[in-house]
Amino acid sequence: MKIIVFVGPTLPAEDIAACGDIAWLPPVAQGDVYRAAQRRPRAIGIIDGYFSGAPSVWHKEILWAISQDIPVFGSASMGALRAAELHTFGMRGIGRIFEAFRDGELEDDDEVAVVHGPAELGHVQASEAMVNIRATLARAAKEGVLSKSSRDALEAFGKSMFFPQRCWDALLEGAATLGVAEPERAALSAWLPGGRVDQKRADALELLAAMREAPHESNGTPPKFNFEWTHFWDEFMRRFEAGHENPGASTRQPVVEELRLEGPEAYARVEAMALLRRVAVTGAAPMALPPAAKSLRATLTDIRTRLGLFTRADLDCWMARNDLDAVSMERLVADEAGLAVLRDLSSGALEPFLIDELRLTGAFERLAERAREKSDVLAARFAGSAGAPSGSQALALRLWYFERRLGRPPPDDVEDFARRLGFADAADFDAALLRERLYLDEQRGDKTP
C-alpha cells in the first residue's frame, strides 16, 4: 500500500508529483486519519489540516493508527502541531517547526495557520504563515538587510495581526509606523523576492523524504502506550463509519436490508461474524456498562421464549440437561445481555463488516442483484419512494411477513425485533416491509395499491 499524505497549501502539486509513489489527500479533518488507517498504508503523513470550517483531526485517531502499527509522521503545519503533542507516544515529527513547538519556543496554533483557496484552485495561499515571517526576518537580519531592532519590531507587529491579514505588503506598510527607517524598508522590499524563507515548504519536503526512506515493513515494535477504548472513541467510530460520514454506505444499505428481511436467523449468523471482524479490525470491542437488572430479566425472558421454556419446571429441566446451576445460569444470561449491548453499540458501524462477511460467504452478489431489481421496480412505479405505510398497512404487512414469510406469530415487541435485525426502529422496519411487498406484487403482476 502507498504512503498517504494530507497536504494542501504548503506544497504545490508539482512538488508532490516529484516525490514519486505517494497518495496525497486534501488537508486533514476529523475522521480522515481513522479512515486512512483502515486502508493499511505503509505510513501516514500529516502536513496540512483544518483549523476552522471543519473539526480538526483528533489526537486519538492518530494514536489509534499508531496502535495499529502504522507509522504517522507530522510536519510544517497541523502535522507539526500534532507531532509536538504526540511525539512521546510515537508520532514522528519532522522539521524545524515541529522542533520549535516540541521545545516550547512556539505555542500558538496561529503560527502555522493561513487562509487558502479551495482544492479546485490548488489551495492557493492568500496569507503568510507567522513561522515563515519569523524565518524570513531572521535571515534578513543575518544577511544585514535589517537591524536587530527592526527585525524584532516587524516580528512583533506580524504576531499582533490576525492570521488571515498577515502578508508582506501589510508588514511593509506598517514598518514606517514602527520606526523602521526608509532605507531598511526599501532594502527589505527589494530583498524579499529572492530572500523569502518558506519554512513550511522546506519542512514538508523533509517529511516526504523521511517517509520514503522509512522501512517498507514495520519492525513490530509495540507502541509506547496502551490504547484506551472509551465511550468517546466508540461514538467517534460510529459517527465516521455511519452513512452520513461514509459515502460508500448509501450503496451498502439496500444490500443489508435484503439480508435483514431474510429473517433473524440468517441475519444473526452474518452479524456474529461481522462483530468478530469489527473487533479484529479495530483492535477492541466497544465499551459497555454491565447490563442492568431490567436488561437481565428481559434477556432471560427472551431465552425462555426462544427455547419454549414457558414454565419454571421447563426451565429447571432444561438447565439440568445443559449442566447449568443457578450461578452458571446467571452468568449465561449476563453474557447474552452483554452481547445484546454489544450489538446495539455496534449497530451504526457494522454495515461495512456485514458486507465483507456477505462477500466471503458468496451471498453478496445475490442480495445486491435483488436490491438493484427492487430499486428499479420502485423507481419505475413509485419514482423511487414507496412512502411510509399507514397504521393499518403496517399491521397487515407485519402479519404477512411474520406468518407468511417467517412462519411464526408476530412478536409481542415489534420494536425490539426490528432493532435486533439492525433497523433503526419499527417504522424503519415497516417501510422496508412495504418496499418488499410492493416489489413482490409488481413481479407477480398484482397492481393493487
Average pLDDT, the chain: 85
Across 104-113, 182-191, 246-255, least confident range: 246-255
Q: What is the pLDDT of residue 237?
A: 75
pLDDT score of 446: 57
Residue 321's pLDDT band, with cuts at 50, 70 and 90, is: very high
Which residue has 405505510 as its cell numbers? 389
Question: CA-to-CA distance for 247 and 30, rounded, in angstroms?
Answer: 15
Which has more pLDDT, 333 or 238?
A: 333
Instruction: Encode pLDDT of 228-266 as tens digits.
Output: 777 777 778 767 764 444 444 445 688 999 999 999 999
**Are the CB atoms for 146 and 188 separated by under 8 Å?**
yes
> How confident is the model over 420-429, as a mean pLDDT?
88
Instruction: Tell me the mean pLDDT in the region 396-419.
Output: 90
| Calpha distance 48→46 (Å, rounded) | 6
Model pLDDT, residue 120: 65
- Reported as a pLDDT band with limits 50, 70 and 90, residue 195 is very high
Task: Choose the most confident range, by mean pLDDT, from 175-189, 221-235, 358-372.
Answer: 358-372
pLDDT of 186 over the 50 cut: yes
For the chain, the farthest-separated pair of C-alpha atoms sits apart, in whole angstroms, at 103
- The DSSP symbol for 27 reads S
Q: Is the pLDDT of residue 190 over 70?
A: yes
| Residue 198 pLDDT exceeds 90 | yes
User: Residue ranges of the alpha helices (H) in 214-245?
Assistant: 231-241
Q: What percent of the chain has pLDDT over 90?
A: 45
Instruction: Tell me the C-alpha distance between 106 and 203, whole Å.
Output: 16
Higher pLDDT, 178 or 129: 129
Going from the C-alpha of 264 to that of each of 16, 146, 302, 345, the distances in angstroms are 51, 77, 14, 18
The closest of 345, 315, 311 to 330, measured between CA atoms, is: 315
Q: How confident is the model at residue 342 (pLDDT cuts 50, 70, 90)?
A: confident
Q: Average of pLDDT values for 178-189? A: 88
- Is 155 or 253 the better-scoring residue by pLDDT? 155
| CA–CA–CA angle 240, 364, 248 (5° rounding) | 25
pLDDT at 434 over 80: yes
Percent of the chain with pLDDT strictly greater than 70: 87
pLDDT for the residue numbered 387: 67
pLDDT of res. 244: 40
Cβ(95)–Cβ(202) below 8 Å: yes
